[in-house]
Structure 1
């Protein structure tokens, strides 16, 4: 039998959608807008970095980043993100969501600016400096995942909670699109200011000084939306669920939520005092946690891991796939600034037509059809479209079939976002106990970033052609784009299988999903003296 719900938590569960819900979505969502911009804008400028710093004849492919450097530049932020998700997820449960929330934002602001100011006397030192700052940028971004998800889930009502959490995450789509749009604007401005010579002249350095400003401006722009959000984050009150269930301060929880909901809420300190004491609560590494939530954690970590292998491979290396099918012109026909412009234009088109709509389809339907159905459907269609691209791959490389390839490739993005990319973020914020919620979300998200690292590093090497001349110069042989797409199709199929470990949380309160009220009742029964029959 479950214990009666605290009034302050019940008030949150049944509250009508109000202004504070939308305020919380914007405040938390701007963090994700910045996260996506910072993580994906690097893919817009990696080819430019190769042209600026590796254009001399001594390199295996002049004008292109060596595979190890490209992997480091693209993937180092994910290493930092993984570490940040684990650290700040744990810290959010120990210190409170709000106290940690501002730290992550300041790290993001400082490191976005520092990434654009990367310095060095030679190409290697510039890349090392850039990777250093992007690691710490990722560290701050990592903290945003568990904290934003947990804060939104604990503020929301149970009827529309999925839509609110998904709306926070959907801001990632606008961040991806904003990166492309900003790169288009800046590169177009540079093109107008500095007439472009042919690639061969550009390789000798005639526009290097102008192009060097371009990538730095694009990276530093990510600091602006994060800085604008800092004040509002600091004004948010701590979530009532943390204050009441973890900090055990019902009076403060009631006072905070009375202001937010604009209703009178009884403090009920006696009821809070009688709930599970921290010393009696099971921990993350206990047998009781394994019994209650072990399969749930396996489900959230495995599906996020598999999803991010495919999702980040697609996002980071769109430019390589588009070049392989001939949708983007060959590099030798463009100068450095023009190449950034065309890559940004292609990626913005994909984001506008498939990525952003996919996120908002999830927002619209997640509380109607449920998390499980959306995630299963998304993985299914991602699998179908990946194999449809990979098996007849040679068919798609013909010029007359390129539009069809781009449309089907866009549909994989649509169903990633109207599917597991959104639901893997939502569910871990709903199904674990309040005192472990941020930690478990951080673990699940970190598993996803481990998948992103596999995608960033693995796909880079795998998608290379089997060009013997490059292999002889130290490049490892690849399996080609076709086989890489087949591998990603298999990964999506495995994600569909592991989805069956994830529970449905539609329409249920957080305490009902995490079984916290049942836990409190069980521990109270265990603490009572045994009844002696006479």
Structure 2
């Protein structure tokens, strides 16, 4: 039997790999489809999975609260397999048609990818034995994103070194790289089918508290500040983070003297090596520092580095070593900062009954930002009046806005999940909402409604 960490984590590894591998595939497709692979087409290929992810996060976040984490995770895993097969086998009689087929297939894949976010986070947190254990479980699950990113880089490096850059070999490269992403989903789909639903979720369903009966107006009224915090910071941060990650290879291609597919693949691995430890340092400090402090310190360092890149870009871009260090550090402190924190915080800032929905909405806001960053990046850097310098300054401004929202809207919750769940039920009772009519009893020690008001 696969343990629960792999049950949730491998799906997230799958997601991260599929999102990141397009980084190098973008360069491969540029070499393979020279005329057809325009800046707009590159943006479409990169953005398709992100748009699908937005829809997947919204839909499966909501369905996860209505019908359970387990059932929905089986569905997302199935979509990952189908989307992966379509992506790797994309083909039409024309090159342009093949690229459009690829865009559609990536959108389907993204729908499954998006669903994994709220479901993996919610189910991981609900298996925890304490708040500290909850944060550790969720952060370790998320850390497999870094492993997925790194694996995508390693396999890309192997492919570009194993095969010459002929049209046939380039075709093999991108198809094999996409096909590999199917394997983790194939491995875990059976175990997800036979897995048990989380006990915390089953208890809430037994109390008849679920999204079928909870009004959106109630959620917005009592949790608007939390939603602004988790969704707003995720939206702003992901504009920066995914523009960086999905176009790392393209950025490295303009830095220094060498811009071959081989050199870009090597440099891409170097960046991943610098960035990967950030996930596990964040896991180590997730309870020692707290999620809010991790968010603030990581975003602040990113802000400073982007300002340095913007001010001294003319000098920095001539040194690939110097740029790789600075660029890698932005990714390191993203992982030891807002990238980790935005994923963990919704699991502690929302009660069980709406956790998956609110996490899904927050994650969807992030992927909406990622789609903006992904689609806009090529257009920004290719604009002579804006270019890379303007892009770095824009990233710095987005980091500043993220810091401001974090200060005023984010909080660490070190209470047991049952505390917030009881407070949620008390709020429903106190307002006489229809959703509370089915409850058989009143909480023995209800917490004051001010708790939610203060923290939300």
How high is the TM-score relative to the length of structure 1?
0.77
What is the match of residue 263 of structure 1? Answer: none
What is the match of residue 404 of structure 2? Answer: 497
SS in 1 for 2:286: helix
CA-atom RMSD, angstroms?
Answer: 2.3
1:381-392, aligned counterparts within 5 Å?
381-392=301-312
- Note if contact 2:43-2:375 (Cα within 8 Å) is conserved in structure 1: yes
- Note if contact 1:27-1:233 (Cα within 8 Å) is conserved in structure 2: yes
- Note if contact 2:303-2:400 (Cα within 8 Å) is conserved in structure 1: yes
What is the match of residue 214 of structure 1? Answer: 173
1:242 to 201, 226, 231: 201
What is the match of residue 232 of structure 2? Answer: 302
What is the match of residue 454 of structure 2? Answer: none
Distance 1:75 1:93, change over 3 A: same
Distance 1:237 1:501, change over 3 A: farther
Offset at 1:517? 5.2
Distance 1:279 1:444, change over 3 A: closer
* Greater Cα radius of gyration, structure 1 or 2: 1
Distance 1:324 1:229, change over 3 A: same
1:64-463, aligned counterparts within 5 Å?
65-157=37-129, 158-191=131-164, 207-245=166-204, 247-248=205-206, 272=207, 282-286=214-218, 289-326=219-256, 329-330=258-259, 334=260, 339=261, 341-354=262-275, 356-399=276-319, 402-463=320-381
How high is the TM-score relative to the length of structure 2?
0.90
Cα offsets for 1:88-131 (capped at 9, x unmatched): 11111111111111110111112112111111111210011001
- Separation (CA, whole Å) in 2 of partners of 1:124 and 1:501: 48
Q: Which runs of 5+ in 2 are unaligned?
A: 442-456
- Separation (CA, whole Å) in 2 of partners of 1:428 and 1:36: 19
- Separation (CA, whole Å) in 2 of partners of 1:378 and 1:320: 24
- Note if contact 2:132-2:414 (Cα within 8 Å) is conserved in structure 1: yes
SS in 2 for 1:41: helix
Cα offsets for 1:278-325 (capped at 9, x unmatched): 699642223xx3332111001111000011001001111212322222
- Separation (CA, whole Å) in 2 of partners of 1:144 and 1:483: 34
Cα offsets for 1:12-54 (capped at 9, x unmatched): xxxxxxxx9x922222111111101101111111122122223
Cα offsets for 1:248-294 (capped at 9, x unmatched): 1xxxxxxxxxxxxxxxxxxxxxxx5xxx76699642223xx333211
- Note if contact 1:80-1:137 (Cα within 8 Å) is conserved in structure 2: yes
- Separation (CA, whole Å) in 1 of partners of 2:392 and 2:376: 12
Q: Does 1:33 align with 2:13?
A: yes
Q: Does 1:42 align with 2:22?
A: yes
- Separation (CA, whole Å) in 2 of partners of 1:280 and 1:465: 48
Q: Which runs of 5+ in 1 are unaligned?
A: 1-19, 60-64, 197-206, 249-271, 467-477, 529-534
What is the match of residue 11 of structure 1? Answer: none
SS in 1 for 2:288: helix
Count of aligned pairs: 434
What is the match of residue 449 of structure 2? Answer: none
- Note if contact 1:362-1:419 (Cα within 8 Å) is conserved in structure 2: yes
- Separation (CA, whole Å) in 2 of partners of 1:280 and 1:131: 34
